[in-house]
């Protein structure tokens, strides 16, 4: 994979997860929170799609540190809003989607850190 393609994919996936987060926040911005099952299923499916695509991408990327940096902001945002949803108990579907969103970003983040540590310790590419 070329350098430009790798960077564009990393930036695009990061932007996609940020857009999903913004979409979820837009849906739940009403007071009281009105969050349908249909909305939660659609966002969960898009999160699952992100997870699958990013899992395949992690195996082919050479820029692990760049991907870690690009995932820090979405991970932080999903974490903050997951905590808020767990503490405030606004709506059960919103809480579930926030937990799924955080988990879907956290697992690839941990995978990237694992690959980075493995690369540093062995001195070879982790592919």
Whether residue 112 contacts residue 58, with contact meaning beta carbons closer than 8 Å, is answered with: yes
pTM of the predicted structure, to 2 decimals: 0.84
The tens digit of pLDDT for each residue in 104-123 reads 999 999 999 988 888 777 76
The tens digit of pLDDT for each residue in 28-47 reads 776 666 778 888 899 999 99
Q: Whole-angstrom Cα distance, residue 28 to residue 20?
A: 12
Structural domain spans, the chain: 3-122
């Amino acid at each position: 994979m070329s350098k430009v393609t790798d960077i564009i994919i990393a930036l695009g996936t990061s932007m996609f997860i940020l857009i999903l987060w913004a979409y979820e926040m837009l849906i739940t911005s009403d007071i009281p929170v009105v969050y349908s099952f249909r909305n939660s299923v659609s966002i969960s499916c898009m999160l699952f799609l992100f997870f699958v695509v990013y899992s395949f991408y992690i195996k082919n990327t050479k820029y692990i540190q760049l991907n870690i940096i690009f995932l820090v902001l979405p991970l932080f945002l999903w974490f903050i809003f997951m905590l808020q949803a767990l503490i405030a108990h606004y709506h059960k579907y919103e809480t579930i989607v926030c937990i799924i969103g955080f988990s879907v970003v956290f697992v690839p983040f941990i995978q990237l850190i694992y690959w980075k540590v493995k690369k540093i310790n062995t001195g070879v590419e982790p592919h």
